[in-house]
Structure 1
Amino acid sequence: MAATCMLALASLTAGASAQDAPVSPGLALNRFNPAPAGDRMFGVQSPYVAGDLTPHASLLFDYGRDPLVLKQADGTRIGAIVSDQLFLHLNAGFAFGQKVMVNVAFPVALMQAGESPSGGGMSFTSPSSAAIGDLRFGARVSLIGTYWDPFQLAIGGYVWLPTGDASEGSFVGEGARALPQVIAGGRVKERFVWSFDLGPDLRRAVIYGGPDGVAQGTTLRTGAGVGILLGEERNFQIGPEITAGFVLDNDNDTPLKRATNLEAMLDARYRFLENFEAGVGVGTGLSAGIGTPQVRVVGMISYTPQMKKPEPPKPKDTDEDGIIDDQDACKEVKGVTNADPAKNGCPPDSDNDGIMDAQDACPQVPGVGSDNPAKNGCPPDADDDGIIDAEDACPQVKGVAHPDKAKNGCPSDKDEDGVIDAEDACVDIKGLKTSDPATNGCPGDTDGDTIRDDKDACPNEKGKADPDPTKNGCPVAVRVTETEVIILQQVQFDTAKATIKKVSDPLLDEVAGVLKEHPEIKKLEVQGHTDNKGSAFLNKRLSQSRADSVKKALVSRGIEADRLVTQGYGPDKPIGDNTTEEGRQQNRRVQFVIVEKVPKGSVTAPTSAAPAPATPAPAKPGDTAPATPAPATPAPAKIPVPAKAPAPAKAAPAPAKAPAPAKAAPAPAKAAPAPAKAPTPPKK
C-alpha cells in the first residue's frame, strides 16, 4: 500500500478546466494532532489528570514527507502538491485537583514545500513559506481511576479557533472545528502504560480537487498506544502507537483508501532531571488518504512534573494504643492486642487466666491464683523447684533446669549417663549403671584388661598398666588402625635369611593375640621389604621368604591361614632414604596391611576376595624377576624415625629393646598419640 496521499484524476478529463472544478480553499492538511503536554503518547490522549495545580509544557516538532501527492488514476506520480511540512507545536496545560485538565496548543509551520503540479486541466498551488496554524484549546475530566490505576476513563476534546491561514495553497488553516472524545487508558504493574481515544472530528465538508475530487469533512478519529516502562525508576518508555481517521462526509463516494488516514509510529521517551522528558518518534503512513505522509518524524522536549505515588492513608487509632479503630474493641481506652476480636485493644488480661495484668505476676502466661504476689497468676510449680509444672518432666520431684525437655526439672545428672548425681559414684564422668554403689555410674572396662575405660589410653585393645597415662592399658608393641596392624618393633631375622630370631617371639605372640581380638580383620597382607643394597631380584626373593616365615609363625600361633596373604616387595616400596643408613634401616621391615574387613562382631560368609599373589619359588642362578608386577598395596602407616639410627643388628643380635608403646588407636572420642621411638630394623 502506498504511503502517500493520492488525488486521482480518473474523472478529470482533458476537457475540464480549473473553473469547472476549482481547488477547495481552507484545508488544514496535517493529520498529526499532538496529545496535551504531560500525556504518555505523542498523538493519543491519556485519561488521567497529572497533579493538582500543576503546570505542564512541551515543544514538539513534527515533520511529514509527501503528505499530498498528485497521481494519475493508474498510480503514476505527477508531482507533490505538498512534499514537506515541518511544524512546531507549542503546548501547555494545567491540572486541577487530579480531575480536570485544560490545555492549549499553537501550531506553526516552520517549513512547507511542494512542486505545484498540474494535470487533467487543473493546476495546484504548493505552499512555500512558514505560516501560523489554527489555535487549539482542550480540556478533559477524569471519571474513573487515577494516574496509577490499570484502568482509567475520561471525557474530553478540542476546539480550534480560525487563527491560521485558510487561503488556497496554505494548508495550515481550516476555520473553526471541534473533536469531542472518550478516552481510556491505564498503568499496569509499573511496567506498561496504555491509551485509547475515540471521537468525531467535526469539520466543514469539502471536496478537494473539484466535484469529482477527494471528499473531506467530519471524520471519525481514533488512536491507541502502548508504552513499556524500563529502568529501575521506570524513566524510559518505548512502544508503538497508531492513529486512524475515516471520512464520514463522503458525498461523492470517494474510494475508502483515499478517504482514510492511517499511521503507525514507534516512539521512545526518557525522563531526566526528575521533571523533564525528551522523546522521539518515527512512523509511516499506511493509507492513501489526504494528509497521510510517507514518513513522519516527531521530536519532543517537555516539562512535566513527576507524579509521586501517594502514601496510603494511615488507619485511625483514637486511643493511640497501636491498634487501629477498625480492629479495636475499646477504641476510647488504651489496651493490648488479643486474638479474640471482642477483647482486642481492651485493657489486658493478656493470658486469659482471669487475673488482670495489673495483678498478674506472669501476665503473658496463663496461671493460677496465689496469696504470694510474686506467684499470683503464674503457672503452678508443685515441687517448688522454679520450673513450672507444664515444663517440668518431674513435677513432683525437685530438680534443675535442663535444655532437654525430657530432663528439665528432674534431679541433676551432670555427666548425663542416666545415673542421677545423688547415686552416681563418678558424678563428672559418664559411666554405667550397676548394683554396686561404689561403681554405679562409673566407666566400664570395654576391652576387659582390668583398666577402667576413662583411665585406659586404648580402651578397645587389651593392654597393660603403665604409669604413663598415654600408654596405660595399651599393647606393648602393636597398634591397630583402619588400614594397618602397626608393629612398634621389627621382626628380627638372621642375616640374609628368612629365619626369625627368638627375640621376636614375644612380638609375634602379641600380633597373633591382636588378630584374635579383631576378627573383623578378614584378610591381612604380610609384607616383606628390603633396602636397595644388592640385587633387586634377590632382595625381592628374600623379602617374600621372610613374609612367608612370618605367616607361618602366625599360623602356628592359631591364626587361620586363609586370613593371611604374603607379598615380598624387595626394595620397591621404600619409606626412608636409601642413600642413608638410617633410611635403609627404615626400609628393612615387615608390615601388616589390612586388605579386607567386616563389621566387628558380625557373622559373614566368606567372600571371594582377589587371590593373594603366589609366593615365588626360590630362584635359580641366572633366573630373572617375574614380568608381572606385584599388586598395589595401601600406603603403609609411617613409623616415626628415631633422631639417630642405632647400629645395625649383628648376625646374632641381642633382642631389640622394645620401645615404650605409644597410645594405640583408641575409641573415636580419643585422639591416637604418635607411636614411640621406632626400634632398630633387622639387618638384611
Structure 2
Amino acid sequence: MCPRPSPRMLLALAVLAASPAWTQDEPTPLPGFELERLDPNPGLGSLLVGSGETLPIGGLRLMLLGNYQHQPLRLLDEEQQLEIVKNRVVGVLSGSYGVFSWLEVGAQLPVVLWQRGEDPRIGGFTTLAPQGLGTPQVHARLGLLSQRAQQPVDLSMDLVLGIPVGSADALSRDPGLRFLSRVVLGGRMGQVRPSLEAGVLLHPSVPLGASVGAKEIAGPEIRVGLGLSTVTAPLRGELSARASLPSTSPQASVEVMGGLRYQIRPGMELFGMGGPGFGLFPGTPLFRVVAGLTYTMEPPPRLVFIDEIPARQLQLQEAVRQAMRQAEEDARGPRPVSVWELNALSLEDPDKMMPDPRPLEGSTGSSGPPEPYEGEARPFQPSSPERLVLRGTVLFEQGSAKLPDSLPLLDQMAQILQELPESATVLIEGHSDAEGSVAYRRALSMLRAKAVRKYLIYRGVAAKRLQLRGFGADWPASTNTTEEGRRLNRRAELLILTAPPPGATAMPVP
C-alpha cells in the first residue's frame, strides 16, 4: 500500500515543476526609435530633394503619399539573419503654406499602416505592433535667394522639428525631439531643374547592439541629397538620391529613386517612384516603392474687372501726357534708328533677349515718332451683346516677354473655354511701360501677347479662338512715374468673350 503524500511533499513537487519557467529569460522589447528614413519634401521640388524654392504668398501644397519598404530592419549575427521588419507600409499626409515671399510653413503626419516580419522572439525580442502613429513634424522653409526675383539661383534653409508622440511599439517614435536643419540649392537650367541639399539631423541616442549593424542610433547624422527633374508638363521625370552618414556607424545609408509625375489637371499631379537602398543601418530597405497625389494652389495674378468711368478718365489723362511728351520729342527732331527697331515688329520668339531700351549714343531723345496703328486702336470695351465671361491680367518683368513659371489664371481660362461654345473667344492685348522707343514698346507688347497665345495653345485652346493686339505704352493701367506703376503697366490683358470682338484678328500658329 502506497503511502499518502503529505501537503509538504505536494508543495515541493510544485516548486520543482515551476522552476524552469522561473529561470527562462523573458523576451526583451526592442528599444523604441523612429525606423522611417524617408523624409519627403513637403514643398516645391522633387519628392526627396527640395528645389530651393518657397511657395508664393498664399500658395498651398498638399501631398498624400504611401510607400512600401522591403526589409527595412534586419538583425545579423554569425549564424543567421533575422528579418524583424520584412514588409512595411507607411502613409504620409503633409501640407505647406506660403506666409511671406520668403517664408513657408507646414506639417507632416506619418502613419504605419501595416508591417510584419519573422517572429522576433527567435532573437529574444517581443512582438512589434502592426500599426501605429509615426513622428509628426512641423517645418519652416526660409527663402534666401529666388530666381523669381531675378536672382541667379534658388536658395532656402529648412528647419524641421519632429515631435515624439508616435508609437514606440511600432518603431515609429524616438525617445525625444528630432531636429533637422538643411540648406537647399537649385535652379532651372533649360528644361531640367537640378538641386542639391546638405544638412544635419539630431535625435536622441538609442542603444541597439552590434547585431543590427550599429551600436546605437544617435545624432548628429549628416544628410546629403541630389535631385534632377524635368519641367515640361504634363509628364515630368524625376531622379533623386539621398545619403545619410550616421556618427555611430561606419556604413552610409543611401537610397536612389526614380519615377514619373503626371499632371491630371492644373495643380494636381499623380506620381510613382521606386528604387533600391544600400546599407545595413536600420530603416534602409532593400528597395522602396512610393506613390501618391499632390495638389498645389497658387494665387492667380490679379483679376481686373471693367469699371468704365475710372478707366476712361485714366486713359484720357495718360493720352494727354503722351501727347505732350510726343510734342516735345517731335520738337527735338529725328534721331538715329537701330536695325533692330526697323525689324522689331517681325520677331516671333518671346524668349529672345530684348535690346537695350536706352537711346543710342549721340541721340537726343529716348523715342522716335510713333508709328500709327491701322484705324483707331484702343483697348476693347465689351458692349452688352458681347458678354464678358472673365477678365484677367498677366504681369511681366521689365524688358521681357517671358511668362512666369506658374500661370493658374491661364490654366483657369483654358478650362473655362472647354465648357463654352466655339463662338467664345479670348482677346489678348499686350502693353508695356514707357521705357525705350515707341517701336521697341510696341514690339514688346505684341511679343507678350504672343507668349500668352502660345501658352494657351499648349493648354489645348484652338488658335482660331485667340485674337491679339499690341498697344505699347499708349494705354497704361497706372502711372509710369513710379516703379509700382511701371510694374502694373508691363502686362497682357485677357478677356473671354461670348462673341468675337470686331476689328481684332486671330494670329496663325507658327
**Equivalent of 2:81 in 78, 81, 91:** 78
Distance between the aligned counterparts of 2:46 and 2:126, measured in 1? 34
Q: Tell me by how many angstroms 1:347 deviates.
A: 9.6
Residue pair 2:59, 2:298 contacting (<8 A) in 1 also:
no
Q: Tell me by how many angstroms 1:235 deviates.
A: 2.4
In structure 1, the partner of 2:246 is 247
Query: Structure 1 residue 192 and structure 2 residue 192: aligned?
Result: yes
Residue pair 2:335, 2:368 contacting (<8 A) in 1 also:
no
Task: Tell me how large the CA RMSD over aligned residues is.
Answer: 3.7
3-state DSSP class of the match of 1:290? coil
Q: Which runs of 5+ in 2 are unaligned?
A: 1-23, 303-316, 337-358, 372-510
Compared with structure 1, are the counterparts of its residues 210 and 268 closer, same or farther at alpha carbon in structure 2 (3 Å cutoff)? same
Q: Tell me by how many angstroms 1:136 deviates.
A: 0.3
Distance between the aligned counterparts of 1:297 and 1:269, measured in 2? 14
Residue pair 1:269, 1:280 contacting (<8 A) in 2 also:
yes
- Paired residues for 1:506-521 under 5 Å: none
Q: Tell me by how many angstroms 1:118 deviates.
A: 5.5
**Equivalent of 2:112 in 88, 106, 109:** 109
Residue pair 1:321, 1:345 contacting (<8 A) in 2 also:
no
Compared with structure 1, are the counterparts of its residues 288 and 92 closer, same or farther at alpha carbon in structure 2 (3 Å cutoff)? same
In structure 1, the partner of 2:296 is 304
User: Which structure shows the bigger proportion of residues in helix conformation?
Assistant: 2
In structure 2, the partner of 1:157 is 159
In structure 2, the partner of 1:97 is 100
Query: Structure 1 residue 87 and structure 2 residue 90: aligned?
Result: yes
3-state DSSP class of the match of 2:91? strand
- Paired residues for 1:161-172 under 5 Å: 161-167=163-169, 170-172=170-172
Letter in 1 for 2:167: D
3-state DSSP class of the match of 1:335? helix
- Paired residues for 1:136-535 under 5 Å: 136-146=137-147, 151-167=153-169, 170-174=170-174, 175-189=176-190, 191-209=191-209, 214-218=215-219, 219-230=221-232, 234-248=233-247, 250=248, 254=249, 256-257=250-251, 260-305=252-297, 334-336=328-330, 338-339=334-335, 341=359, 342-345=363-366
Give aligned pairs, total: 305
Query: Structure 1 residue 63 and structure 2 residue 71: aligned?
Result: no
In structure 2, the partner of 1:479 is none
Letter in 1 for 2:158: G
Distance between the aligned counterparts of 2:57 and 2:240, measured in 1? 28
- Paired residues for 1:594-609 under 5 Å: none
Letter in 1 for 2:245: F
Q: Which runs of 5+ in 1 are unaligned?
A: 1-16, 311-318, 325-329, 351-684
Which digits, 9 at most, give the CA deviation of each residue in 1:557-610, with x for residues without a partner? xxxxxxxxxxxxxxxxxxxxxxxxxxxxxxxxxxxxxxxxxxxxxxxxxxxxxx
User: Which structure shows the bigger proportion of residues in strand conformation?
Assistant: 2
Distance between the aligned counterparts of 1:200 and 1:303, measured in 2? 29
Residue pair 1:27, 1:173 contacting (<8 A) in 2 also:
yes
Which digits, 9 at most, give the CA deviation of each residue in 1:431-460, with x for residues without a partner? xxxxxxxxxxxxxxxxxxxxxxxxxxxxxx
Q: Relative contact order (C-alpha < 8 Å, sep 6+): which is higher?
A: 2
Q: Tell me by how many angstroms 1:288 deviates.
A: 1.9
Q: Tell me by how many angstroms 1:117 deviates.
A: 3.5
Query: Structure 1 residue 33 and structure 2 residue 39: aligned?
Result: yes
Compared with structure 1, are the counterparts of its residues 333 and 217 closer, same or farther at alpha carbon in structure 2 (3 Å cutoff)? farther
Compared with structure 1, are the counterparts of its residues 331 and 240 closer, same or farther at alpha carbon in structure 2 (3 Å cutoff)? same
Q: Tell me by how many angstroms 1:42 deviates.
A: 1.2
Which digits, 9 at most, give the CA deviation of each residue in 1:90-149, with x for residues without a partner? 111101333211010000111011213356xx4233424210011100011111123597
Residue pair 1:88, 1:110 contacting (<8 A) in 2 also:
yes
Which protein has the larger Cα radius of gyration, Structure 1 or Structure 2? Answer: 1
Q: Tell me by how many angstroms 1:77 deviates.
A: 4.1
Distance between the aligned counterparts of 1:77 and 1:338, measured in 2? 92
3-state DSSP class of the match of 2:187? strand
In structure 1, the partner of 2:342 is none
Q: Tell me by how many angstroms 1:209 deviates.
A: 2.8
Compared with structure 1, are the counterparts of its residues 148 and 29 closer, same or farther at alpha carbon in structure 2 (3 Å cutoff)? farther
3-state DSSP class of the match of 2:263? strand
TM-score, normalised with respect to structure 1: 0.40
Residue pair 1:78, 1:117 contacting (<8 A) in 2 also:
no
Compared with structure 1, are the counterparts of its residues 267 and 118 closer, same or farther at alpha carbon in structure 2 (3 Å cutoff)? same
Distance between the aligned counterparts of 2:287 and 2:242, measured in 1? 14
TM-score, normalised with respect to structure 2: 0.53
Letter in 2 for 1:344: G
Letter in 2 for 1:63: Y
Residue pair 1:283, 1:297 contacting (<8 A) in 2 also:
yes
Compared with structure 1, are the counterparts of its residues 18 and 271 closer, same or farther at alpha carbon in structure 2 (3 Å cutoff)? farther
Residue pair 1:114, 1:127 contacting (<8 A) in 2 also:
no
Compared with structure 1, are the counterparts of its residues 339 and 146 closer, same or farther at alpha carbon in structure 2 (3 Å cutoff)? same
Query: Structure 1 residue 43 and structure 2 residue 48: aligned?
Result: yes
Q: Tell me by how many angstroms 1:157 deviates.
A: 2.0
Which digits, 9 at most, give the CA deviation of each residue in 1:209-244, with x for residues without a partner? 3799532111111211101234xxx32211210011
Residue pair 2:239, 2:257 contacting (<8 A) in 1 also:
yes
Compared with structure 1, are the counterparts of its residues 201 and 105 closer, same or farther at alpha carbon in structure 2 (3 Å cutoff)? same
Distance between the aligned counterparts of 1:213 and 1:137, measured in 2? 28
Distance between the aligned counterparts of 1:279 and 1:304, measured in 2? 14
Compared with structure 1, are the counterparts of its residues 247 and 22 closer, same or farther at alpha carbon in structure 2 (3 Å cutoff)? farther
Q: Tell me by how many angstroms 1:322 deviates.
A: 12
Which digits, 9 at most, give the CA deviation of each residue in 1:301-341, with x for residues without a partner? 0111369899xxxxxxxx968999xxxxx969653584354
Distance between the aligned counterparts of 1:276 and 1:192, measured in 2? 20
Q: Tell me by how many angstroms 1:45 deviates.
A: 2.2
3-state DSSP class of the match of 2:147? coil
Percent identical: 24
Residue pair 1:22, 1:209 contacting (<8 A) in 2 also:
no
Q: Tell me by how many angstroms 1:195 deviates.
A: 2.1
Distance between the aligned counterparts of 1:147 and 1:110, measured in 2? 40
- Paired residues for 1:552-563 under 5 Å: none
Residue pair 1:280, 1:298 contacting (<8 A) in 2 also:
yes
3-state DSSP class of the match of 1:304? strand
Compared with structure 1, are the counterparts of its residues 347 and 173 closer, same or farther at alpha carbon in structure 2 (3 Å cutoff)? closer
Which digits, 9 at most, give the CA deviation of each residue in 1:501-551, with x for residues without a partner? xxxxxxxxxxxxxxxxxxxxxxxxxxxxxxxxxxxxxxxxxxxxxxxxxxx
Q: Tell me by how many angstroms 1:272 deviates.
A: 2.4
Residue pair 2:59, 2:299 contacting (<8 A) in 1 also:
no
Q: Tell me by how many angstroms 1:69 deviates.
A: 1.1
Compared with structure 1, are the counterparts of its residues 146 and 77 closer, same or farther at alpha carbon in structure 2 (3 Å cutoff)? farther
Compared with structure 1, are the counterparts of its residues 146 and 114 closer, same or farther at alpha carbon in structure 2 (3 Å cutoff)? same
In structure 2, the partner of 1:373 is none
Compared with structure 1, are the counterparts of its residues 347 and 203 closer, same or farther at alpha carbon in structure 2 (3 Å cutoff)? closer
3-state DSSP class of the match of 1:199? strand
3-state DSSP class of the match of 1:173? coil
Q: Tell me by how many angstroms 1:275 deviates.
A: 1.1
Residue pair 2:121, 2:127 contacting (<8 A) in 1 also:
no
Distance between the aligned counterparts of 1:86 and 1:298, measured in 2? 10
Residue pair 1:183, 1:198 contacting (<8 A) in 2 also:
yes
Residue pair 2:87, 2:115 contacting (<8 A) in 1 also:
yes
Distance between the aligned counterparts of 2:205 and 2:270, measured in 1? 37
Letter in 2 for 1:277: E
Instruction: Choose 139-148 or 170-179, whichever is displaced more.
Output: 139-148
Instruction: Choose 51-60 or 333-342, whichever is displaced more.
Output: 333-342
